[in-house]
Structure formats: C-alpha cells, structure tokens
Chain A
Amino acid sequence: MKFRMLFPVALLAFASTVLAQTTLNVVTAGDQNMVDYVNNYLAPKFEAMNPGVKVRAVGTGPGDAGSQKIYEKLSAQQKAGNNEWDIDVAVIHQLASATMVNEKLLMPYRNDVSAGKLVSRDTAKNALGANVDGYVLPMFHSQIVFAYNPELVKSPPKSFQELNEWVKKNPKQFGYNGVKGGMSGVGFVTGWVSAYSGMGDKLEKGPYDASTAPAIDKALSGLKEFNQYVVMTPGNAGTLDMLNRGEIAMGPVWVDMFYTWQADGRMSPKIKLVLPSPGLPGQPMYYVIPAKAAHAALAKKFIDLAESPEVQADGIIKQFNWYPGIDPQYVQPKLDQAAWNKLFTDVSPADLSKYGRPFPLSPYFKEIVEGYERVVLK
C-alpha cells in the first residue's frame, strides 16, 4: 500500500506537530452512523498512524440540508476573510460540491493522494453537470431504489410504467416524500420525468435546452395524477419510517439509509429492494478538503487512508453494505466472495450499471424540481 510507504516520510514531516496535540476536524453530512464510522473506525486507525493527532468528527445532519450547512460554514469563513478554516475534511453530497467548487471553497487534491488513481466513476469528475474534477473523491456510492415488503407485494413493478398501473390497483400502498423532504423523493421525481419524457440521456448529459420545458411539464402532469394514488411521506427517513410501521408497502429509499435501518433493527429483514427501469438516480458522498483547511496535509493523508482498498472493503462494504467509492476491481480482491455477494443481494451488478443513473444536470434539475412545485403541487 502506498500510504504505508508514505508513512515514515509523513512522520518526519509532522514531527514538529507531534508534540503539540493536533486536532483534525472531520465534518460530515449524513446520518449519525457516518459520524460513528469516522469516530470508531477511521479515527483510531489514523491516530495510530499519526501520533499526536486527534480526529474529531462532527455531524451536520442528513440529506442536502446537512451538506448545505457545511457550505454555509465555509462560505462564512471565506466572506469573513479568515486564513485558516476550521474544517479539515468534509463529507458532502453532490449538490453542495458543485456550489463549493464554483465558489472556490475547496482545494484540488486528488492528484496528491495515491487513492486518487483508484476512482473510475464519472461522478468522481462530474457533479450534476458541474466539473468537480480533482476536488472530490467518493467515500461511497449510494443509489435510490424501491424498497418493498414482499409479503404485501408479490411481484414488484419493474418499471415506472408498471408502477403507474400498480398504484391504481393498490392505492395508498406506495409512498414517497415529494421534493421538499429530501433527495429520495427528488430522485423519484427526476426518475419519473426521465422515464415519461424519454429524455433521460439528454437530462443527464446535456446540453441544456430550454425548449424541453413543455415535455418536462407534461411528464410532471402525469405525476400529478399518480399522486392521487400514493401517500406523501415526511422526508427520506419518513418513507423508511412508514415502511417500518407497515403503513406503505413500497417506496423509494436511499440504499445506504435502508441498510442502516435494517442493521439498527428499525426495518424488517424481509424487506427487499428493486431498481426499476429506466432507472433511478444515485450519487456518491464526497470527501473534500476546504480551500484553506488548517491541516490540509493531514487531511490528504486521512482521505488516502479512507479511500484505500482495505478500508473500502472492510469499512464501507463489510460494516455498512454500501457500494464502494473507488473502482470495485480494487476492492473485490480484499473481500471474501460472501461479503461481496451480499452487496448485490437484491440489485444485481448488471441492473445497477444499467438502471443506476446520475441526477439530471443542474439546470434541468432545477427545472424539474420547480416544475414539480408549479405543476404538481398547485
């Protein structure tokens, strides 16, 4: 491992700071288990490698609201003209990463870490159409899927078309969280528009063309009718919550959250997942380093550790059953076959690559979400 070879060099480089306790501030959006992961899994490893360094993990809350709060803190320090910012490593969603790169709040670092060569997904360079090449490394990849209770849903709909017919036969059994309660609902809406406008590729790859607006509105008006047969849930966690109590039989959820709920005993182990055609969006969580992080060199070492194939295999896949952030070909050899297969229990790798799509480009994204407010909610 390259970072192991770097270790003695780094030790010398940081010999001066070893005496004084250095605190590496890792601020992460997402659920509490992300904070626990940094605190309990990554931090002890990193602290053992870097004596005198203490890792402090703080969470900012789930969803884009959590990432936005990190953006706001960095932006406040930029506007205040501070030279040393108080966040060394941040873990954020795509939407915020685009804004942060655009406003020069981040530091390019991918070429400075050895794990930078291990990433292959398009999302390592591109976030909702914004060029984030070099500024981000995916911590893990997540995917929106339909979770369903097989006792209530014998043969789950395999496409949006089938879903549309299914809800009419099974009213109030499907639930999703609209656009104001988090990205699993937003992703369902953009997935719906991709499916019913037939412009999936254009929405994801561009270029942006304002004349597509009527087609988007038309797809959304179908969603308005669809909504009469479904339950609106309170947020990403709200969909899981209603699945937990059996109030809905099916709904779109983030696969990482789903597995967390199952691991924490809040979701029946019987609940299964399906990824419908022509697809639902997925997105990674990114490791980023703020442009004026006080301990940038340490931050790079930290991310190098977190992105190493061992940590990705043992931490991300084995502990959480999350899709790895780096290219699977580097991770798979570090795992036994059973652990690897568990990752694809419900959704096969083939389905994942075919139906796991990126979110639409940001102008389309905005148009769809605001169109939802205009067409569906009014």
Chain B
Amino acid sequence: MATRPLALPSPFALPSPLAMLLRAAVLALLAFAIFGPLLNLLLWAFAERWYFPNKLPIEFGLTYWYRVFQPRGNALASLGTSVWIALLTVAFSLAVAIPAGYALARLKLPWRGAILLTFLLPQAVPNLPVYVNIAQVFYQIGLNGTILGVVLVHASHGLVLAVWIASAAFASVDASLEEASRNLGASPWTCFRTVTLPLATPGLIASAIFVFLESLDEFTGTYFVGVPDVTTLPLLMFNATMGGNYQISSITALLLLIPSIGFMLVVERFLKADVLAMVGR
C-alpha cells in the first residue's frame, strides 16, 4: 500500500553510523525471519535428494517440476481454474459488497453490529463440518461440481473482507462532495456513480486483493463443492503438503505465488492509503 512516510527531522536520533548499523541489523533479522522459512520452500522445490545428516539438499534438479507439469497432471489447467474462480469470486463479492458497504457506511441500519458480525461468521467457525452440510444442499439444488457453486462458497467466506473494507471505503469519501453534486441537481444514482463510487474505488480494490488471496488459498470448500468436476491447484497443494510431499507442495506453492503477487502488483496502483484507515467502522 502506498504509505506516505513522514520524513521528519529526528533531533534525538542516534549518531548516524551507529543508527545505520542498528537499522541494518534489525532489517537483516527481519529479512531472516521472513525469508528463512521461504528459503526452505525454494530449496525443496529443487531438491532431488535431501536427508540426514545433510544440512542442504544433496542433489538439485527439475524432476518434480516435470512431475507437476506432466500432461496428465493438469497442474496448469488447475492453476487456470483457480485464478478464474478467484477472479469470479472477487467480481461477485464486490457486486454484493458495494451496495452493502454503502448502506453500512451511509445509511441508518438497525442491528448494524450484528450484521457486521454475521459476515465474520464464516471466518470464525472450523469450517469442515459446515462444508459437509453445504455439499448436501448443493447436491440437492444441482450446484455441486459447478464453478458457480465454488464461487459462492469462496465468496461467503471472503465476504467479511469485502464488506468491511467497502464500508470503510464509502465512509472515507468526503460527504460534502456528494452534497455539492446533489445541490447541482444530480440524482442520487448519478451522484453515486460519478462522485461516491470513483472516490471509493481504491478501497474497493484493496478489498479485491484480500478476497482474491482468500479464494486462492481455499481448498476445503472447493473439495466438497467442486471435486471431481472442478479441481484447483490449492487442492493439489494441500494433499501434497499433508502427505509430506515437500517437493510437489513447494512447487505448487511457488506457482500460486505468481497470480497472488501479479494481482497485487496490478491493483496496487489504484490503492490509496486512507481507505484502510476506516476498515471495520
């Protein structure tokens, strides 16, 4: 997010070489804490053989990359499905979260707190038993095995982020601009379309990132609602990780980084910091 550093003069700062050293040391520690575990991911992705007493892989290679990308493995197709589902989930979530966020930010709602908490519910319950029930319902109404079914499950799980952040985005739009537009004779809809929505867009895009990542991480709901007709890469990753297939799981995790970071980079241009200030209000 484009945070704006307040480059203040620092009258009480440490003498500068010492300060520099200290800063470098803290940054190095933080870098180790963040990239140390990630280095393991990278090593396992290319490790052919790695076992005690060797502290590093004995042999590197691409065998497991071939295995992931073998024609029948469908890794690329699954990755495509995962990204497609994530994009649809973002679109669907925003479509319902924008009106909801506007109502929460601008209109008087009874039970406002309870409504906000309802959206939190899907994040708060260990979801396996609930997804079993969803599967039953979706089989009844023919949604099982469809992309739409998976999108609905992902959306209900990620909606708290979309709604809370959308509401914050609308709350941060300066109301006097809307009033000015209304005073000039704009209808409420025109006012919303030409003033409120454009000003809230950066915040809505911020919520899109989180919903996208949420969808790209999800596998329990995908299994119960999608499999065998819809399979995604996180499913493969989950099974490989739980079975201790470190090479396969590391490679799939690396593959999933591509859309995650790509999506973030693309939408980050639209981000504005002050939206995040209002999240959850």
Contact = CB atoms under 8 A, between A and B. Distances in A.
Interface of A: 25, 27, 30-33, 35-36, 39-40, 43-44, 56, 58-63, 65-66, 69, 72-73, 75-77, 79-82, 86-87, 149, 235, 237-238, 240-241, 243-246, 257, 261, 264-268
B224 A59 contact: no
Given A40-B72, A264-B245, A87 B139 contact: no
User: Which residue among B48, B132, B244 has the maximum number of chain A CB atoms within 10 Å of its CB?
Assistant: B244
A87 B58 CA distance: 41
A27 B52 contact: no
B227 A58 contact: yes
20 contacts: A31-B243, A35-B239, A39-B73, A44-B72, A58-B228, A58-B231, A61-B238, A61-B239, A72-B135, A73-B224, A76-B144, A77-B139, A79-B139, A80-B139, A81-B140, A241-B244, A246-B52, A261-B244, A265-B47, A265-B49
Given A62-B242, A63-B242, A264-B245, 18 more contacts: A27-B228, A32-B239, A32-B245, A40-B70, A56-B228, A58-B235, A60-B223, A61-B238, A69-B224, A76-B135, A76-B136, A86-B229, A245-B51, A246-B53, A265-B50, A265-B51, A266-B49, A266-B244
A86 B142 CA distance: 12
Interface string B189-228: 0000000000000000000000000000000000110011
Contact of A43 (B53, B72, B223, B247): B72
Contacts, number: 112
When A and B form their complex, which 9 residue pairs have the shortest distance between CB atoms, in order from nearest?
A237-B244, A246-B52, A265-B49, A80-B139, A31-B243, A76-B135, A76-B136, A62-B243, A80-B140
Indicate the size class of the contact surface on chain B. 35 or more
Contacts of B223: 60, 69
Interface string B128-157: 000010011101100011000000000000
Contact of B51 (A27, A65, A66, A268): A268
Given A36-B73, A61-B238, A62-B242, A73 B248 contact: no
Chain A CB within 10 A, most for which of B48, B139, B145, B238: B139
B145 A86 contact: yes
Contacts of B135: 72-73, 76
Nearest to B238: A61
A25 B228 contact: yes
Contacts of A32: 236, 239-240, 243, 245, 248
A86 B247 contact: no
A31 B53 contact: no
A236 B38 CA distance: 24
